């Protein structure tokens, strides 16, 4: 269950993640340049922009996966619930519990369907079998997998279809009760029907989580996003409510990208 935070007054954006003057470079080559933006709570935020503009870099800064990239240098702040997660003293395990992550391709653990979902709770100290059973069922139901797998929970997760594996990875992320869900093009490896199922689950979940998605598919961003961040060559060009950005883009670069002139 998510941590309760103050409700927004009508028309007032309540930020869950605040990014301040974020600069990232890889071996001296800038990837993000002075990015500052607030990401709203309880909504789906889509990060869009041409290939190589820094979308995934920005996302990976939100759970410190950027730390795993050789040669990456990060300056600035990423605040989640007011805490700068880039501070070296931050507990990475607690941070990753707070921020679930879906990669482009699903990566189920080499174990059973049940154990994939139970893995995180066990790691964080849950040992009671009845409690684990409830968590596994709840998360599989939340991702619409329960009806498909309840009779084979002890089967290897690798035997699931790719679309089912991605929903399993989403269930695994939900099992540790995160506040934030991060997705790096989470439907790009899926067939249209499976992608639609994942999209539907994300829309249903957004009231309980802050969801941030990188997507290269503008149609998907239009379908899902409540808020949009547009990056171009490592710079934050424009951000705001999705309808405002898509229907009335202010910057010429945004207009060109949305019009298909820049890919």
Beta strands, E only, 41-143? 44-48, 72-80, 83-84, 99-102
Q: Say yes or no to pLDDT of 7 above 90.
A: no
pLDDT of residue 34: 97
pLDDT of residue 252: 97
| Cβ burial, residue 1 (10 Å; 0-12/13-18/19+) | exposed
Q: For 141-196, how does the pLDDT look when each residue is reduced to its tens digit (9 = 90+)?
A: 999 999 999 999 999 999 999 999 999 999 999 999 999 999 999 999 999 999 99
Q: Rounded mean pLDDT of 107-136?
A: 96
Q: Check if CATH label 3.40.50.12370 holds for domain 15-108+180-258.
A: no
- Domain regions of the chain by residue span: 15-108+180-258
Q: Say yes or no to pLDDT of 249 above 80.
A: yes
CA dihedral 236, 241, 242, 244 (to 10 degrees): -90
Q: Rounded mean pLDDT of 55-76?
A: 96
Q: For 24-37, how does the pLDDT look when each residue is reduced to its tens digit (9 = 90+)?
A: 999 999 999 999 99
pLDDT of residue 13: 64
Q: For 224-243, how does the pLDDT look when each residue is reduced to its tens digit (9 = 90+)?
A: 999 999 999 999 999 999 99
pLDDT of residue 12: 54
Confirm if 237 and 255 have CB atoms less than 8 A apart: no
Neighbours of 61 (CB within 10 A): 26
Q: For 91-115, how does the pLDDT look when each residue is reduced to its tens digit (9 = 90+)?
A: 999 999 999 999 999 999 999 999 9
| CA nearest neighbour of 140 among 163, 171, 119 | 171
Confirm if 38 and 18 have CB atoms less than 8 A apart: yes
pLDDT of residue 234: 97
Q: Are strands 99-102 and 180-184 parallel, antiparallel or unpaired?
A: parallel
Higher pLDDT, 11 or 93: 93
**Mean pLDDT for the chain?**
93
């Amino acid at each position: 269950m998510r941590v309760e935070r103050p409700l927004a007054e009508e028309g007032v954006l309540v930020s869950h993640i605040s990014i301040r003057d974020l600069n990232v470079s890889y071996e001296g080559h800038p990837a993000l340049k002075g990015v500052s933006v607030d990401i709203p709570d309880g909504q789906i935020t889509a990060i869009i922009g041409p290939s190589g503009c820094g979308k995934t870099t920005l996302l990976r800064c939100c759970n410190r996966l950027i730390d795993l990239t050789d040669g990456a240098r990060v300056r600035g702040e990423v605040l989640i619930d007011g805490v700068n997660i880039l501070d070296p003293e931050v507990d990475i395990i607690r941070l990753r519990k707070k921020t679930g992550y879906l990669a482009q391709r699903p990566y189920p653990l080499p174990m059973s369907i049940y154990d994939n979902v139970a893995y995180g709770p066990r790691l964080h100290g849950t040992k009671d079998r009845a409690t684990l059973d409830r968590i596994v069922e709840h998360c599989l139901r939340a991702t619409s997998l329960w009806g498909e797998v309840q009779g084979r929970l002890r089967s290897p997760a690798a035997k699931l279809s790719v679309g089912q594996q991605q929903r399993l990875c989403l269930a695994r992320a939900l099992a540790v009760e995160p506040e934030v869900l991060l997705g790096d093009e989470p439907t790009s490896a899926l067939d249209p029907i499976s992608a639609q199922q994942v999209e539907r689950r994300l829309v249903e979940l957004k009231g309980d989580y802050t969801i941030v998605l990188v997507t290269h598919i503008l149609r998907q961003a239009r379908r899902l996003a409540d808020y949009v961040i547009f990056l171009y060559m490592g710079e934050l060009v424009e951000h705001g409510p999705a309808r405002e950005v898509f229907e009335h883009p202010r910057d010429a670069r945004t207009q060109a990208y949305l019009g298909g002139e820049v890919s």
